[in-house]
Amino acid sequence: MEELTLEQFEEASDLVKEVTLETKLVYSEYFSAQTGNKVYFKPENLQYTGAYKVRGAYYKISTLTEDEKAKGLITASAGNHAQGVAYAAKLAGVKAVVVMPTTTPLMKVNRTKGYGAEVVLAGDVFDEACDYAYKLAEEKGYTFVHPFNDLAVATGQGTISMEIIKELPTVDYILVPIGGGGLATGVSTLAKLLNPKIKVIGVEPAGANCMQESLRQGEVVTLPNINTIADGTAVKRPGELLFPYIQQNIDDIITIEDSELIVAFLDMVENHKMIVENSGLLTVAALKHMNVQKKKIVSILSGGNMDVITMSSIVQHGLIQRDRVFTVSVLLPDKPGELAKISALLAEEHGNIIKLEHNQFISINRNAAVELRITLEAYGTDHKNQIVSALTGAGYRPKLVKFKGTYSDS
> What integer pLDDT is reported at residue 308 of this predicted model?
82
Dist. CA 205–CA 287, nearest whole Å:
14
Which structural domain, as residue segments, surrounds residue 166?
Answer: 6-53+151-318
Phi, psi of 205 (to 5 degrees): -70, 140
Contacts of 282 (CB under 8 A, 6+ apart): 177, 203, 204, 205, 230, 233, 256, 261
Residues 190 and 73 in one domain: no
Q: How far apart are CA 194 and CA 186, in angstroms?
A: 12
How would residue 366 be classed by pLDDT, with cut points 50, 70 and 90? low
Q: Are 312 and 333 contained in the same domain?
A: no
Q: Is residue 47 part of a domain?
A: yes
Any residues with CB less than 8 A from the CB of 410 and at least 6 apart, and which? 258
What DSSP letter does each residue of 223-255 carry, written as one string? Answer: -S----S-GGG--SS--TTTHHHHHHH--EEEE
pLDDT tens digit sequence for 203-240: 999 999 999 999 999 999 999 999 999 988 988 999 99
- My answer on whether 161 and 241 are in the same domain is yes
* Residue 55: C-alpha distances to residues 51, 61, 110, 204, 356 (Å): 9, 10, 21, 21, 51
C-alpha–C-alpha distance, residues 69 and 282, integer Å:
35
Tens of pLDDT, residue by residue over 112-128, are 999 999 999 999 877 78
Instruction: Look at residue 164 and tell me if it is in a domain.
Output: yes
How does strand 143-144 pair with strand 252-256? unpaired
Question: Of 318, 342, 368, at which residue does a domain stop?
Answer: 318
Please check whether residues 268 and 331 belong to one and the same domain: no
Q: Is residue 1 part of a domain?
A: no
The answer to whether residues 343 and 309 belong to one domain is no
User: Do 187 and 296 reside in the same domain of the chain?
Assistant: yes
In a domain, 356, yes or no: yes
- pLDDT tens digits for range 391-406: 999 988 899 998 764 4
Q: 124: left (phi > 0), else alpha (psi -120 to 50), else beta?
A: alpha
CATH code of the domain covering residue 263: 3.40.50.1100
Counting residues of the chain whose pLDDT is more than 70, the rounded percentage is: 95
Buried b (16+ CB within 10 A) or exposed e, 76-108: bbbbbbbbbbbbbbeeeebbbbbbbbeebbebb
User: Count of domains in the chain?
Assistant: 3
In a domain, 36, yes or no: yes
Say if residue 11 is in the same domain as residue 158: yes
- Whether 176 and 238 share a structural domain: yes
My answer on whether 175 and 302 are in the same domain is yes
Please say which residue of 301, 318, 335 terminates a domain.
Answer: 318
Q: What is the pLDDT of residues 77-114, one digit of tens each?
A: 877 888 999 999 998 899 999 999 898 878 788 889 99
Last-in-domain residue among 127, 144, 161: 144
What positions carry a catalytic annotation? Answer: 53, 302
* Residues 6 or more apart in contact with residue 72 via CB below 8 angstroms: 94, 95, 96, 97, 140, 142, 143
Give residue 34's pLDDT band: very low, low, confident or very high (50, 70, 90). Answer: very high
0.75 cut: is pTM over it? yes
Decide if 139 is inside a domain.
yes
407 falls within a domain: no
Q: Indicate if 282 and 361 belong to the same structural domain.
A: no
* Average pLDDT score over residue span 146-175: 96
- Residue 358's domain is classified under what CATH number? 3.30.70.260
Please, is 382 exposed, middle or buried when counting C-beta atoms within 10 Å of its C-beta (0-12, 13-18, 19+)? exposed
Dump pLDDT digits (tens) for 263-317. 999 999 999 999 999 999 999 999 999 999 999 999 999 999 887 888 888 888 8
135 and 93 co-located in one domain: yes
Q: What is the pLDDT of residue 307?
A: 79
| CA 191 to each of CA 160, 166, 183: distance values in angstroms, whole numbers, following the listed order | 9, 11, 12
